[in-house]
Amino acid sequence: MLDNKITHLFKTNLRFKDLCVDMLSRQYGFFTKQINAYKNILNFKESYLVYNRNVIWDLKTIDNTKDKIDWSGFYKFKGIELNLSFFKKYEDYIKFQNTQLNKNIDWSNQLLDRYADRWEWEWLMMRAIVASPRNIAKYKDRYDWDKLSSNRHLKLTEDLLDTYLENWNWIKLSSNSSLVLDKRSIEKYKDQLCFNGLSRNPSMVPFILAYPNNYDWNWVTFSQNRGVVFGDKIIQFLIEKFKANQTYLKGYSVGLQNNFAKGSLILAVSNNLNFNRDIWFSESFIEHIPWKLLIQRKPDVLTTQEIEDHINLEDFIKILPYNVIQKLSKQYILNNLEVLLKFRWSLFRYANIDEVFVKTYAIEDDWFQLAFNTRFNWSLEFLLAHLDKFESNNGLSQNENLFESLFGSATKEEIENLLKVY
């Protein structure tokens, strides 16, 4: 149920009314019928209704509101297949520089060809449509070959590799999972290939393990390969490889060599997208965890207590990452306030802070960041008391916790009645 205070303020407070409209435009799950009914009230700009992930558009609604829509954000439309017919109908509205961001485009050769002079080709290089041999041949001079070399939709046949031998960025191509080579192919292209890149190529993991001593593999990079499935056997294999590379330890005991190898391995694996806490926080490795780098690289896998026990705030010079500051407790923040206020941009935007903290320590510039903070305990009373301190509706309108506080329990009828008195 909608708080009666909100209805009253909507009628009497212009700033609050505009904020409510912006917030609803950005987050409320409008039906297309409602969008058509309130099209003269809602905010159709890119960061508002066009961005709204809870709205499913249809062609009729787009047609009825085409002159209100901020078309620079059309790539965010949900629910519509953006095919050749759609582009033809709205080609005078569409901002082509953003099209590559829309996942609903029904790409075809006809679509690519019709607007060849309007695409931002650099930004199409990861799309499947540009990876076809037909389009590579036709548009090769428009292509950004550095980016294309990372396109995972490529069918990297020997003919395709040979035809554009001098065009490929072989460093990026080597790490592309679309590149799958056998022994003959590696011998053929060994002067072009980057074995560091191949070591991180998920598709090459079986080959690397089949020929571990035949080529100049980078075992640090291999440990970061998302295609590696870690188990006891492969972990022991990598420990031996790391020991072999640490020649300066040859004179030390096997136990010391193992400890250094384990430390090096877990340091390398901390950059693996598939970092598995259950493996690397086991009894075998817990003493070798590089806490400093893990806090910087993988704070999401750490608990608040682990971060607070091992973090050294002096290690962070200019930026304290948001996913670190989100983990810090209120008490830790208060205990280390002097240092943390050096990162006040992140502190007020992401930290678990409360009204007392804000009232005590906020300065003028902090209110802009606070508007985005979803860990803050928002209330209508706090918002009204400080609304004049927020210079725009941008952050407040997209704050999911604030939206939930104001409109989370509102019914469809209450939202409509609110907009009717705009």
Spatial distance between the Cα atoms of 282 and 385, rounded to a whole number of angstroms: 50
**Does the structure show a pLDDT above 80 at 250?**
no
Q: What pLDDT shows up at residue 242?
A: 92
Q: What pLDDT is stored for residue 81 in this prediction?
A: 84
Contacts 24+ apart (CB under 8 A), 366-370: 367/391, 368/392, 368/395, 369/344, 369/345, 369/395, 370/395
pLDDT beyond 90 at 73: no
Q: What is the pTM of this model?
A: 0.88
Backbone φ, ψ for residue 80 (5° rounding): -120, 135
pLDDT digits (tens, 9 = 90+) for 265-275: 998 998 898 89
Average per-residue pLDDT for the chain: 94
- Looking at residue 253, its pLDDT comes to 82
Q: Which two tokens stand for residue 345?
A: 């941009």
Given a cut of 80, is residue 248 above it in pLDDT? no
Q: Which amino acid is at 144?
A: D
Domain boundaries, the chain: 229-271+275-310
CA distances from 65 to 3, 83, 369 (A): 31, 19, 32
pLDDT band at 405 (very low <50, low <70, confident <90, very high): very high
**Nearest in space to 1 (alpha carbons), one of 419, 420, 412:** 412
